[in-house]
């Protein structure tokens, strides 16, 4: 009879530990999400990724477009993110301004027809230069 009580108590303790660990994980995830939303990272990443993807799809052959990245780099600096802010690879545009997250948008134009570079030497800030071959 004693052994049955001990097993019940051990199971209850194990269940409580699992419950508390899952609650801590949930609360931390929620705090991370709220932090990203409050900093404006999520919305800005999505807006720019979609803008870049739709701009790429609308380019004609031989066209070059310069897009200001000042807002993205300011937000990346605010979030202490030092990585690449814009990456275009395999028909995907990825915009990332914080260590957690990033937003990808798929475009239709063949990736081998597009070349891009981030020019930091122009007066007034950073620019994304898109070229259609």
Per-residue pLDDT of the chain (133 residues; tens, 9 = 90+): 455 555 555 668 888 899 999 999 999 999 888 876 776 778 889 999 999 999 988 888 888 898 888 889 888 888 888 888 999 988 899 999 988 778 999 988 777 788 888 888 776 678 888 888 8
Q: What per-residue confidence (pLDDT) applies to 10?
A: 60
Q: Identify whether residues 79 and 106 lie together within a single domain.
A: yes
Q: Identify whether residues 30 and 48 lie together within a single domain.
A: no
Q: Identify whether residues 32 and 16 lie together within a single domain.
A: yes
Q: Identify whether residues 80 and 109 lie together within a single domain.
A: yes
Q: Identify whether residues 82 and 102 lie together within a single domain.
A: yes
Q: Identify whether residues 22 and 48 lie together within a single domain.
A: no
Q: Identify whether residues 24 and 64 lie together within a single domain.
A: no
Q: Identify whether residues 96 and 119 lie together within a single domain.
A: yes
Q: What per-residue confidence (pLDDT) applies to 115?
A: 85
Q: Identify whether residues 65 and 78 lie together within a single domain.
A: yes
Q: What per-residue confidence (pLDDT) applies to 127?
A: 86
Q: Tell which phi-psi region holds residue 123, choosing left (phi > 0), alpha (psi between -120 and 50) or beta.
A: beta
Domain range spanning residue 19?
1-39
Domain count, the chain: 2
Whether the Cβ atoms of residue 129 and residue 66 lie closer than 8 Å to each other:
yes
Helices and strands (H and E) in the chain: how many? 3, 6
Q: Identify whether residues 24 and 69 lie together within a single domain.
A: no
Q: What per-residue confidence (pLDDT) applies to 96?
A: 93
């Amino acid at each position: 009879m004693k052994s049955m009580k001990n097993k019940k108590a051990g199971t209850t303790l194990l269940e409580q530990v699992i419950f508390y660990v899952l609650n801590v994980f949930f609360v931390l995830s929620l705090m991370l999400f709220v932090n990203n939303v409050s900093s404006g990272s999520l919305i800005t990443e999505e807006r720019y990724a979609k803008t870049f993807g739709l701009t790429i799809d609308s380019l004609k052959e031989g066209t070059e477009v310069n897009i200001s990245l000042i807002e993205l780099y300011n937000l990346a600096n605010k979030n202490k993110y030092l990585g690449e802010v814009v990456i275009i690879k395999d028909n995907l545009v990825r915009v990332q301004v914080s260590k957690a997250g990033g937003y990808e948008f798929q475009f239709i134009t063949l990736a081998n027809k597009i070349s891009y570079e981030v020019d930091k030497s122009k007066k007034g800030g950073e620019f994304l230069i898109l070229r259609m071959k």
